[in-house]
Each structure stands twice: as C-alpha cells, then as structure tokens.
Amino acid sequence: MKKTLVMFASAAFFFAACNNSQENQPTQEPAATETTETPATTEAPAGDVATITINGNDAMQFDIHEIKVKEGQTVKLTLHHIGKAPKVAMGHNFVLLAAGVDMAEFAKAAIDAKDNDYIPKNLGKDIIAHTKLIGGGESTEIEFKAPAKGTYDYLCSFPGHSGLMKGKFIVE
C-alpha cells in the first residue's frame, strides 16, 4: 500500500512538473534577489549618529576597509566576530588611532599588552577609541565623537592581525 501511494505521488509530481501550459504561469518577472555581499565602504547617514557595523572573521579579515563619517558626529560602532575561534587564539578588537600615529609601531607595542586586550596603556594618547577584545561569536559596541576632518587608521591590535585587519576612517 505504501509503495503504491509513493508511486502515485511521484507520478503526480512528475506530471505537474512537465505541464508546459501557459495558463497557470505567472505573468510577472521574478523578483530580484538581494545580495549578501558586504560593501567595501560604509558611509554614515547624515545626522547626529553614524551607526557602523564591522565584522571580523577567523581568516583575520575585516569586512569593511573604509568608513566615512562627519566631523563631530556620534559614532556607534559594533564589532562582530563572525568566526568560531576563541579569543585567546583569534581575538579581534577595533582600535582607531589618532592622526599621525605609526600603525606598525603601535601594533608592535600592542604585542606586550596582553593583559589589557592588546591596548598599550602607555599609548592612550595615540588612541581615539577602541573596543574590548572578543572571540568567535561575540560582539561589542562603543560610542564616541568623530574627530576633526581627516583620514585616520584603524586596526585590530591582536598580535599579527594588523597586517590584514586595518582600514581608513575618513572624517569629512
């Protein structure tokens, strides 16, 4: 009985799929699908608050390499670690450096700041804003005022990450 029912259902599906009549076909074109690709830049909306979301992964990559905001704007930045690796092996943070700070020198100093999420305590004047260090599946958020007009560097200060995990923070 089950075998007969399965064969009958299969035949019904087969004949329904083979029906080429135009009577029951939709006349509209299929809807466009949305892309899930992340843009290379993020521009802040006009107004008082710029909401930025940046993702870091287990391949030591940020999904955004350029962020644009307005001078004096409040920036609400969320960092998501979309990977699975734990913080001790593949931790990520977001560090926005002050104008003129040498990123390579900062990253070198950060290696010795494990106890402070790889944020060197003696280089506080070189940092505009930073998140805490997070591991796979975690998120963190910070809020700060955008600095004066100019182009600033941002990076992940976990040892070895700044070579790939970096970008430009442009204030217009």
Kindly report the CATH number assigned to the domain that includes residue 127.
2.60.40.420
CB 44 within 8 A of CB 77: no
Mean pLDDT of 28-49: 45
Q: Does any domain span residue 79? A: yes
pLDDT band at 35 (very low <50, low <70, confident <90, very high): very low
- At 48 the pLDDT is 87
Q: Does any domain span residue 36? A: no
pLDDT above 70 for 38? no
pLDDT band at 150 (very low <50, low <70, confident <90, very high): very high
Q: Does any domain span residue 24? A: no
Q: Does any domain span residue 86? A: yes
Domain region containing 123: 41-171
pLDDT above 90 for 22? no
Could you report the per-residue pLDDT of 97-130, keeping only the tens digit for each? 999 999 999 999 999 999 999 999 999 999 999 9
| Residues 68/70/74/77 CA torsion (nearest 10 deg) | 0
Q: Percentage of residues in the chain with pLDDT exceeding 70?
A: 73
Strand pairing category for 139-145 and 74-81: antiparallel
Q: Does any domain span residue 49? A: yes
Cβ-proximal residues to 50 (8 Å cutoff; 6+ apart), any chain: 44, 69, 70, 73, 74, 75, 76, 146
Mean pLDDT of the chain: 82
- How far apart CA 51 and CA 68 sit, in angstroms, is 11
Q: Does any domain span residue 15? A: no
Of residues 117 and 37, which shows the higher confidence score?
117
Q: Does any domain span residue 1? A: no
Q: How far apart are the first and last CA of the chain?
A: 74
Residues in the chain: 172
> 21-53: string of b/e by CB count within 10 Å (b at 16+)?
eeeeeeeeeeeeeeeeeeeeebebeeeeebebe
Could you report the per-residue pLDDT of 69-81, keeping only the tens digit for each? 999 999 999 999 9
pLDDT band at 47 (very low <50, low <70, confident <90, very high): low
pTM above 0.85, yes or no: no
DSSP percent split of the chain into helix, strand, coil, nearest 5: 20, 30, 50
Q: Does any domain span residue 10? A: no
Q: Looking at the 3D structure of the chain, how many domains does it have?
A: 1
